[in-house]
Amino acid sequence: MSIYYTKNHEWAKVEDNIAMVGITEYAVSQLGDVVFINLPESEKSYKQDETLAEIESVKAASDIYSPLSGKVTELNSKLDNSPETINNSPETKGWIAKIEIINSDEINKLMNKEQYQQHLQTLK
């Protein structure tokens, strides 16, 4: 399994042709308390960088973009009732969806962990 990141602070854990998707610790630290998430539609295909989900914290509403193009195969429906899981555990229990990757070349557009850490440094 390999983990990749976007500039918008989504992560994708890729295993075979499935990517588990969520938002990073940094994203959560910027959002504050998450109170609502509008999950993607099951079975629907999303393009890379297309709005996959909407998230609302007390502070702001933001879009979550799909790190890769693909079809949604599984949703973390537990987030409907306990969106705060994203605050408590953004990079494990707070995953948002699993998508079946259509075009693995798109992974080249993502950052690895080291590159993402460097990206965060530029935001300070």
Partner 1 sequence: MKKMPLHNLHLKLSAKMGEFAGWQVPLFYSSIISEYKQCRQSVALFDISHMGEFIFKGDIEKSGIEKAVTVWIKKIPVGRSRYGFILNNSGGIIDDLLIFKINNDKLLFVVNAAAESIDYKILKKSISCGYLENISTKTAKIDIQGPLAKEVLAEFLNCSQVIPYFGFIEFDYQGEKILISRTGYTGELGYEIFLPNKFVLSIWEKFISHEKVKPAGFGARDILRLEMGYNLAGQDLDDTITPLEAGLSKFVNFSKDFTGKAALVEQKKKGVDKTRVAFVVSSKRIPRPGYKIYYQDKEIGEVTSGSFSAHLSSGIGLGYLESPLTPPACRDYSDIKIIVGNNKKVKIEAQIVNLPFYKKGSLRKGSGLHS
- Positions touching partner 1 (CB under 8 A) are 29, 32-33, 35-36, 38, 54, 56, 58-59, 61, 83, 87
Least separation in angstroms between residue 37's CB and partner 1 is 9
How far is residue 7's CA from residue 119's CA, in Å, rounded to a whole number? 7
Least gap, CB of 51 to partner 1 (angstroms): 9
To the nearest whole angstrom, how small is the minimum distance from the Cβ of residue 33 to partner 1?
A: 5
Q: Residue 86 corresponds to which amino acid?
A: I
Find the shortest distance in angstroms from Cβ 34 to partner 1.
10
CA end-to-end span of the chain, whole Å?
A: 29
Q: Which residue has the tokens 């702001």?
A: 60
Give the three-class secondary structure for 107.
Answer: helix
What sign does the dihedral 88-93-97-99 (CA atoms) show? Answer: positive
Cβ proximity to partner 1, 58 vs 123, nearer residue: 58
Closest CA to 36 of 67, 64, 66, 7: 64
Q: Which is nearer to partner 1, 67 or 83 (CB)?
A: 83
Joined together, the tokens standing for residue 40 give 């993607």
Closer Cβ to partner 1, 74 or 84, answer by number: 84
**Is 15 or 61 the residue whose CB approaches partner 1 more closely?**
61
